[in-house]
A and B are shown apart, each in its own frame.
Chain A
Amino acid sequence: MKIFIGKLLVFLVLLFAADYLLGSIISDFHLETKNINLQNTNYGFVNYNNDDILFFGASEVSHSFISNKVTKETGLSSYNLASDGCGIYYQYPLLETVLEKHTPKVILISAYQLTQEGSEYLTRMYPYYNNNEHVKEVVDELHPREAVKLALQGYVYNSQIIRIFDGRSGNSNGYVPLPSISELTEIQKSINLPEGEVYEISDDTKFYFVKFLERAVSSGATVYVYVPPILEKVNQPYLNAVKSIANDTGAKLIDFSTDYSLLNRKELFNDKIHLNHEGAEVLMDKFIEVLKKDGVY
């Protein structure tokens, strides 16, 4: 039995050593990745540097807010920190991290952060867990037992290896354009917008959404809650909840959910939720108008 236990210990020591060594190597590649989504995450959590306008949200923001266009038109530097599929538990530590370095003039967050279910996307933040107290705080609160697994370097980068070495890069300050589609979908072809989904708002997402807005407003930035244009009828109780939260926290609402100058031009959409690049250009013209009207530049 002693020999067996000895061999088992050798195995465990080697496993931890190999895990640590490979994890350290991958860590370097992760920080220098050319993958545009990971670049955004790295930028926000590690490399952020003095931008005037920041966009937070998931895919409805990452594919719609053309940072370079905003910078060109307003003269203010901007970065699209949005990341596909990432909800409010990602956005809040990201905000806290950037505010530690610099207070931007404008912070925009998508209203859909209020409704995003699940927390699987937290794994995107695991590479920063050991060095970022805000990430640690949220992960520990939502998944207390992850701390044990996160002692392993392999687990920190679990399922991210292909993404790290994926060479998609862009010089678009976080904006990821979507192409126009060759054929309209059934929803796009239909004359009337379909009934909207009934969005549930959980206490947890509401808590962090409000916390995000309060923190953003208290930093002194102008804070916008953005309701995106989507090819469906707006869900009124959800919209009322968004308005109420924005009002209570002192954030401004930019509501495109009933902007028919966008909704009636279905060729501007890549699918039901996402604008294509042409749509993003139109949206940016409208957003820049809002900034001008509010005296941001």
Chain B
Amino acid sequence: MVFTSLNFLLFFPAVILLFYITPIKYRWATLLIASYFFYLNIEPVFGLLTAIITLSTYFFTRLIDKVNDDKTKSKYMYLNIAIVLLPLFFFKYFTAINDGIFNILDLYEIRWVLPKITFLLPVGISFYTFMAIGYTIDVYNEEVEAEKNIGIVALFISFFPLILSGPIERAKNMIPQFKSDLKLNPANFSIGLKLMLWGYFMKLVVADRLAIYVDAVYGNLAHHNGDTILFTSLLYPIQVYADLGGYSLIAIGVSKILGLDVMHNFNRPFFATSMAEFWRRWHMSLITWLTDYVYTPLAFSFRRYGVSGIVLALMVTFVLSGVWHGATLNFVVWGVLQGVFLSIEALMNKRKTKMENRYSLKSNFLYVAFSIGLTYFLFSISQVFGRAVTFEDSIIVFEKVILERGSLFLDKTTLAYASIGIFMLLLSDFRDEYFPKKMLLFNNKHFVIRLGSYLCVALLILWIGILNGGQFIYFKF
């Protein structure tokens, strides 16, 4: 069941109704049942994985909480992390490792008698695995207490709005909310529905429409010239933003209606003026997770190496982030590129700041516009490795972009519809970035203006949205 399916539009009101008639004390249990129903609906066997991860996490966090010896605590923490990571490694990397072994054996002309096996990746496994690991480390660091109610731990790991694509939440934010008196109230309903409406707009009007064009070009690289591929590569980050950003807003909106506050995942990333700022605005729940549990411990370990240590920590963090996205050379290169961009910025940061202050560049429109454009361009380049199916395809993209000129492939209808969505999305982000209290539509004080803007967005979804069920890009991670 996905957010854009008709099933979800029946499921969610049913959950609200059940939630409403359940006594406040047991509403967390209703959410747990709904979450397992939601996840089992995709593939029943996947529920076993969440159950195993829940049991292991509950058991070991309780042990960590009980023992006083640091070494034993650390042993339990690592043991649970290993257990929790096992399914992720198995399902996500087994095929890649298996293929790698076959390729190496092929080089030496050795024939392996075992057949090639491919497993279906359980949807959302990366997201709930990261949440379970984060919770284990937080208990170890004594930032949160180990939860005594296994039902609450199970709900934290399987909470249906977040299980498929995040945001990757933290125990210290979610568990106290699950244990509090969950109530339905009109203010939350209103905020939640607005977030959902804009999320559906981003996904159905922008992301899924752009996907038609991007897939047509990237699916037939051999038939398209460099100019078309460059144009498509510059559009692709907007597709990903609208896809994951749209999903996240729907998830946050659904949670809000149920009375739960979930962290935001994007903060107008295309107005970032540097890669460092970009990564503070893009997929924030993943980046803060990586910062807290990978980068910061690494940077601390490497502190004696000074700036080189920071660069090394950045590289390792982003390569890991790349590998998290997929076990392919493409994603490793993607991670390395992010690491390189950020490292160069870190190394030049002092000089850059000095220059910006000296010439008051931060208030110079041209400088800001150039910085935004450059950041977007660098991210688009790196995203080629995120979109192309194989590393060879990525190389073809760069070869063609550099060497092959030609007229643009213009799927006029698709691009015309997409332009409407992109324009509205970027205009909204522009307003929020530079004029946050002006030209309010969804939050205007006049009911008629609010109503009119909801109607326009809803009608656009009905009239030009892709309503036949495109998949969310981040489900595959």
- List A residues at the B interface (Cβ < 8 Å): 1, 3-4, 7-8, 10-11, 14-15, 18-19, 22, 120, 123, 145, 148-149, 152, 154-155, 157-159, 161-163
Contact = CB atoms under 8 A, between A and B. Distances in A.
B149 interface: no
B462 A152 contact: yes
B447 A7 contact: yes
B41 interface: no
A90 to B, nearest CB: 16
B468 interface: yes
Contacts of B462: 19, 152, 154-155, 158
Nearest to B190: A4
Nearest to B465: A158
B220 to A, nearest CB: 13
11 contacts: A1-B184, A1-B186, A8-B193, A11-B454, A14-B455, A15-B459, A22-B459, A120-B468, A145-B6, A158-B465, A159-B464
B389 interface: no
Interface in B212-228: none
Interface string B164-205: 000000000000000000001110011001000000000000
A4 B184 CA distance: 12
B413 interface: yes
Nearest to B414: A159
A22 B186 CA distance: 31
What DSSP secondary structure best describes chain A's contact surface? helix
B451 interface: yes
A152 B466 CA distance: 15
B189 A4 contact: yes
A34 to B, nearest CB: 16
Given A4-B186, A14-B451, A162 B463 contact: no
B416 interface: yes
A296 B396 CA distance: 54
B40 interface: no
A252 to B, nearest CB: 36
Nearest to B466: A159
Contacts of A22: 459, 463
A165 to B, nearest CB: 11
A148 B417 contact: no
B451 A161 contact: no
Contacts of B463: 22, 154, 157-159, 161
Contacts of B447: 7
B82 interface: no
What DSSP secondary structure best describes chain B's contact surface? helix
B385 to A, nearest CB: 28
B340 interface: no
B344 interface: no
Interface string B433-470: 00000000000000100010011001100111111100
B386 to A, nearest CB: 26
A10 B450 CA distance: 12
A25 to B, nearest CB: 12
From B185, B186, B413, B462, residue with most partner A Cβ within 10 Å: B462
A241 B193 CA distance: 53
Contacts of B455: 11, 14-15, 18
B122 to A, nearest CB: 26
B426 to A, nearest CB: 21
B459 A162 contact: no
Contacts of B454: 11
Contacts of A3: 186
A15 B193 CA distance: 15
B417 A159 contact: yes
Given A11-B454, A158-B465, A162-B417, 8 more contacts: A1-B184, A1-B185, A4-B190, A7-B447, A11-B451, A158-B462, A159-B464, A162-B412
A9 to B, nearest CB: 12
B451 A149 contact: no
Contacts of A7: 447, 451
Given A11-B451, A155-B462, A163 B190 contact: no
A148 B464 CA distance: 18
From A3, A155, A158, residue with most partner B Cβ within 10 Å: A158
A89 to B, nearest CB: 14
A10 B452 CA distance: 11
A200 B466 CA distance: 28
A113 B468 CA distance: 23
Contact of B416 (A8, A149, A162): A162
- A-B pairs with the 10 shortest C-beta distances? A154-B462, A4-B186, A154-B463, A162-B413, A1-B186, A145-B6, A15-B458, A162-B416, A155-B462, A152-B462
Contacts of A159: 413, 417, 463-464, 466
A283 B185 CA distance: 70
From A11, A120, A149, A159, residue with most partner B Cβ within 10 Å: A159
Contacts of B459: 15, 18-19, 22, 154
Contacts of B416: 162
Given A10-B451, A18-B455, A19-B459, A158 B190 contact: no
Interface string B411-440: 011001100000000000000000000000
